[in-house]
Structure 1
Amino acid sequence: MATTWIVDQAHSDVQFKIKHLVISTVTGSFKTFSGRLIQEGEDFEGAKVYFEIDPKSVDTNNTARDEHLRGDDFFGTQDYPLMTFYSTSFTKISKNEYELIGDFTMKGITKSLILKAEFGGITVSSYGVEKAGFEISGIIIRSDFNITFNSPLEKGGMMIGEDVKFIVNLQISKQGI
């Protein structure tokens, strides 16, 4: 029998970082997201993961930059209101490490991503709810999703990096049977 786990948004976050001016890193997060994990066996091997992010919820601690990111140069949130991830495999590598592969869609373009999922464990909250934790990380190449806004720098390199590193800290809640 399958077990459904739902993302606890209050105890989870979606963070990203990207190089800026070659010399530093800009960080940000998405504040609105949801997801679920469907577990078939005793552990999470083979589980199905579904995750959605609202790109309008981007927050880099800079209002002007956030508005630019929502526009057509980057996320195009008017035309593309969701980013989605649907797993195609969830493979146990070691006791607390999984490889998560799936289809990520952003701006209407879908690409396969290979992610690292570090399992934090399972516990029961003070409210009697069974919880599990994962840290999921990976890299997205932004030009793969037609996000190409950039400009060359006088001393070489580009204003914005190509690789977007992300970390998703998930706490998921087991749903009643």
Structure 2
Amino acid sequence: MKKIGFSIVLMLFAVSAFSQTWVSDASHSRLGFNISHLMISHVTGNFKQFEAKASTSKADYSDLKVDLTAQIASVNTDQEQRDNHLKGEDFFDAQKYPTLTFKSTGLKKIKGNQYKLTGNLTMHGVTKSVVLDVVFEGKVTNPMNKKEIAVFTIKGVVKRSDFGIGNKYAAAVVGDEVTLDASVEFSPAN
């Protein structure tokens, strides 16, 4: 009986010893998107201000939980007039809905370092469940600060109409499907 109790204590210690909270490194992370324009060209952009937190208790990150918040006012397509239009009532309405959030609800390993991340995406006051493709690129010790980093790339497609964004614009003008493309470098929270 003592051996079982000791084994449980060791197992709990091992789990708590590895249990980590990670935060995104803003200078080495990108939250981007791509959407069609007039059905033949594409506009790319990103959110310049976002934070992501991840937590895991397993060395292979298979129980990864992610929370992300992006500031809508930081939307950037390298064209000021378009950016201001996107921030306005026709699209994101940044005054009324200043953030978009993502909170993961599950992670499923597909194969190797590939996963499906399910979570709730909230934009423009609407929350929808989405499934994203995640690749765990690996981890390494940063030679500059000696901290371990873990990198993930995330891709997925959402429909702007599901969130009530830009409803007065037909998909032939501004595509309905928005491709998400992110790369996030995490380091342990201090």
User: TM-score with structure 2 length normalisation?
Assistant: 0.87
Matches within 5 A, 1:99-138: 99-126=116-143, 127-138=145-156
What amino acid is the match of 1:32? Q
Choose between structure 1 and 2: higher helix proportion.
2
1:59 aligns with 2:76: yes
Alignment partners' CA distance in 2, 1:149 and 1:136: 29
Other-structure match for 1:139: 157
Alignment partners' CA distance in 2, 1:143 and 1:36: 28
Alignment partners' CA distance in 2, 1:12 and 1:91: 23
Unaligned residue ranges in structure 1 (runs of 5+): 152-156
Percent of pairs with identical residues: 39
Matches within 5 A, 1:24-173: 24-126=41-143, 127-147=145-165, 148-151=167-170, 158-173=172-187
Alignment partners' CA distance in 2, 1:133 and 1:162: 29
Other-structure match for 1:154: none
Q: Secondary structure at the match of 2:168?
A: coil
Q: Secondary structure at the match of 1:61?
A: coil
What amino acid is the match of 2:156? G
Residues 74 and 149 in structure 1, CA contact (< 8 A), matched pair in contact too: no
Q: Secondary structure at the match of 1:144?
A: helix
Unaligned residue ranges in structure 2 (runs of 5+): 1-15
Q: Secondary structure at the match of 1:42?
A: coil
* Runs of 4+ deviating beyond 4 Å: none
State the Cα RMSD in Å: 1.1
Report the Cα offset of residue 134 of structure 1: 0.6
Report the Cα offset of residue 150 of structure 1: 0.8
Other-structure match for 1:22: 39
Larger radius of gyration: 2
Residues 33 and 52 in structure 1, CA contact (< 8 A), matched pair in contact too: yes
